[in-house]
Amino acid sequence: MPTLIEDTIAAISTPLGKSGLGVIRLSGKDSCKITLSLFSSPRNGLRDRVPVLGNLFEPKTGDVIDQALVTYFQAPRSFTREDLVEISCHGSPVVLKSVLRLVLEAGARLASPGEFTLRAFLRGRIDLLQAEAIHDLIEAQTLFQVKVAHQQAAGSISRRLKPVKEELVGLISLLEAGIDFAEDDVSILAEAAMEERLSQIEAGLARLKASFAFGKIVTAGLTIAIAGRPNVGKSSVFNALLQEERAIVTEIPGTTRDLVSETTQIQGIPIRLVDTAGIRDAGDRVERLGIDRSVEAVADADRVLFVVDGSEAWTVLDQEILGRLEGRPYLVVINKIDLAQRLEEGSLRIPATVVCRVSAKTGQGIEDLRHALFKEYGSLEGDAGLVTNLRQERLIHEALVALKKSQNTLTNGLPHEVILLDLYVALKALNALTGETTVEDILGNIFSSFCIGK
């Protein structure tokens, strides 16, 4: 990743392929000069934020390449806080590549992946959390992911972090003042007040860290395995959740002999559903191989839907399968509630909160099942701000560990200089979170995953 930010960069910012429109982006002090060297219009110039219609031409021959709409964004009121130009022309790959070639020949440099966003970060237009959110926004597969990423790009996490960080900086300042002016009898916080402020800072960060439990599934999604003994309706539940007939359903036990998986979205979260073979003692070698794969799928899944037949009594095999789920997140799905019920829920010996009653045949309870998958996380309403990647979670954890050490130091009556060491470690972690203090290789790792032109 280049560190020079004074040169002018350019890239095609729309996916290559046939389309009605395509955009070429330039950023840097020579953006206007380079653009005007191959663009002519009756207006004879570019004005800030005023789209201008004209022709793109080959400077050497004067041949017109395409008609284009050019918009100039004057520094610092642009995404990169540099002079920025967007050339919108027809989305023919030949046209776009030809215009980009002319732009590069006129003095621009081909942008590296993510370099436009990197410049926005380096110029103070956005912080590192917002930069990561832009990447998430581009990669979003569902509208809910778009919503979360948009909130982060608008600074939702940064706003949650700001008062916590200000409180930490304020506490550090007080301790520093107390040390610097100890001989002048400058009063600082009493131990109890200091402990209370540390607790408040720690609580704020703990709440932010806790959001990672939901934030990571918003971006990465979940793998959910549907398990149970044969003929309880696993494939029917699978089809009902997908809202399509993907798995074969018959009344013959053991119809599903291999894993069937499909990707969908539930409540805006990307989901990989895995329908497994009915778990039982099988003499058939093929069925036994399918059951072995089912056990593996259950072990690898983020969550398990354990399907039981409500029209039949609880069996030893049901109990055995439930035992295999111990220590794993699961929901018990009592299927076939459209039939006369013989299953006594008291025999399950599990909390009622993990039980969901459905009829895959009629669709009754399926929507409740969809909601139950994420009930423990609540819902994202308003400008909540979620920690969505491991880098963010690790840095918050590092700050929390340092704060906990400072609490212990205070309790043990050690000098304030020792407390300050831990507080500065916490501050360093929070600075790295937003990118205020970081190293070049971290920036390279983050921005290298962006697409060219963004």
- Domain containing residue 244: CATH number: 3.40.50.300
The rounded distance, in Å, linking the Cα atoms of 131 and 294 is: 40
Q: Report pLDDT digits (tens) over 111-126.
A: 999 999 999 999 989 9
Span 135-146, average pLDDT: 90
Question: pLDDT band at 252, cuts 50/70/90?
Answer: very low
The rounded distance, in Å, linking the Cα atoms of 246 and 241 is: 10
pLDDT confidence of residue 129:
92
Span 9-14, average pLDDT: 95
Of residues 44 and 100, more confidence is placed in 100
pLDDT confidence of residue 251:
53
Span 423-440, average pLDDT: 81
Of residues 283 and 195, more confidence is placed in 195
The rounded distance, in Å, linking the Cα atoms of 239 and 243 is: 6
Which sign does the torsion angle of CA 389, 392, 396, 399 carry? positive
Using DSSP's 3-state secondary structure scheme, residue 48 falls into: strand
Q: Report pLDDT digits (tens) over 41-80.
A: 988 789 999 999 999 999 999 999 999 999 999 999 999 9
Are 301 and 342 in the same domain? yes
Are 118 and 237 in the same domain? no
Of residues 25 and 279, more confidence is placed in 25
CATH of the domain at 25: 3.30.1360.120
Look at residue 257 and tell me whether its pLDDT is greater than 50: no
pLDDT confidence of residue 200:
94
Which sign does the torsion angle of CA 24, 28, 32, 35 carry? negative
Q: Tell me the pLDDT of the chain averaged across its residues.
A: 85
Are 107 and 227 in the same domain? no
Are 349 and 237 in the same domain? yes
Q: If you compute the radius of gyration of the chain from its CA atoms, what whole number of angstroms results? A: 29
The verdict on residue 450 lying in a domain is no
The verdict on residue 116 lying in a domain is yes
Of residues 95 and 321, more confidence is placed in 95
The rounded distance, in Å, linking the Cα atoms of 160 and 212 is: 14
Beta-bridge mates of residue 180: none
Span 227-246, average pLDDT: 85
* CB neighbour list of residue 133: distance below 8 Å, 6 or more residues apart: 149, 150, 151, 152, 153, 157
What count of Cα atoms within 13 Å lies in the side-chain half-sphere of residue 238? 28
Query: Length of the chain, please?
Result: 454
Q: Report pLDDT digits (tens) over 392-430.
A: 999 999 999 999 999 998 888 888 788 889 999 999 999
Which two tokens mark 310? 């409500």
pLDDT confidence of residue 182:
52
Look at residue 376 and tell me whether its pLDDT is greater than 80: no
The verdict on residue 415 lying in a domain is yes
CATH of the domain at 200: 1.20.120.430
DSSP 449: T
The verdict on residue 448 lying in a domain is no
Look at residue 103 and tell me whether its pLDDT is greater than 90: yes
| The residue type at 208 | L
The verdict on residue 452 lying in a domain is no
Are 228 and 316 in the same domain? yes
**Count of structural domains, the chain:** 3
CA 277 vs. chain centroid, Å, equals 32
The rounded distance, in Å, linking the Cα atoms of 158 and 453 is: 25
The verdict on residue 317 lying in a domain is yes
Are 164 and 17 in the same domain? no
Residue 57 dihedral angles phi and psi, to the nearest 5°: -135, 160
Are 285 and 327 in the same domain? yes
Q: Quick one: what percent of the chain has pLDDT higher than 70?
A: 84
The rounded distance, in Å, linking the Cα atoms of 393 and 386 is: 10
Nearest residue to 388 via CA among 119, 118, 134: 134
Distances (CA, A) of 135 to 36, 154, 319: 31, 13, 45
Question: pLDDT band at 176, cuts 50/70/90?
Answer: confident
Question: pLDDT band at 379, cuts 50/70/90?
Answer: low
Of residues 385 and 21, more confidence is placed in 21
Span 2-6, average pLDDT: 59
Question: pLDDT band at 449, cuts 50/70/90?
Answer: low
Which sign does the torsion angle of CA 150, 155, 156, 158 carry? positive
pLDDT confidence of residue 288:
61
Are 345 and 228 in the same domain? yes
Distances (CA, A) of 125 to 77, 82, 217: 10, 10, 28
What count of Cα atoms within 13 Å lies in the side-chain half-sphere of residue 44? 0
Are 397 and 366 in the same domain? no
Question: pLDDT band at 21, cuts 50/70/90?
Answer: very high
The pairing of beta strand 303-309 with beta strand 330-335: parallel
The rounded distance, in Å, linking the Cα atoms of 212 and 396 is: 10
Span 168-193, average pLDDT: 71
pLDDT confidence of residue 446:
52
The rounded distance, in Å, linking the Cα atoms of 405 and 397 is: 12
Q: Are 234 and 249 in contact (CB under 8 A)?
A: no
Last-in-domain residue among 64, 98, 127: 127
| The residue type at 436 | E
Q: Are 56 and 65 in contact (CB under 8 A)?
A: yes
Most confident of the following: 12-26, 255-269, 296-310, 311-325 = 12-26
pLDDT confidence of residue 250:
47
Are 147 and 110 in the same domain? no
The rounded distance, in Å, linking the Cα atoms of 317 and 54 is: 75
The rounded distance, in Å, linking the Cα atoms of 452 and 110 is: 9
Last-in-domain residue among 377, 395, 422: 377
Last-in-domain residue among 377, 400, 425: 377
Question: pLDDT band at 255, cuts 50/70/90?
Answer: very low
Look at residue 188 and tell me whether its pLDDT is greater than 70: no
Order of all β-strands in the sheet with 355-357: 260-266, 269-275, 222-227, 303-309, 330-335, 355-357
The verdict on residue 445 lying in a domain is no
The verdict on residue 3 lying in a domain is no
Domain of residue 234, residue span: 218-377
Are 342 and 222 in the same domain? yes
Are 86 and 40 in the same domain? yes
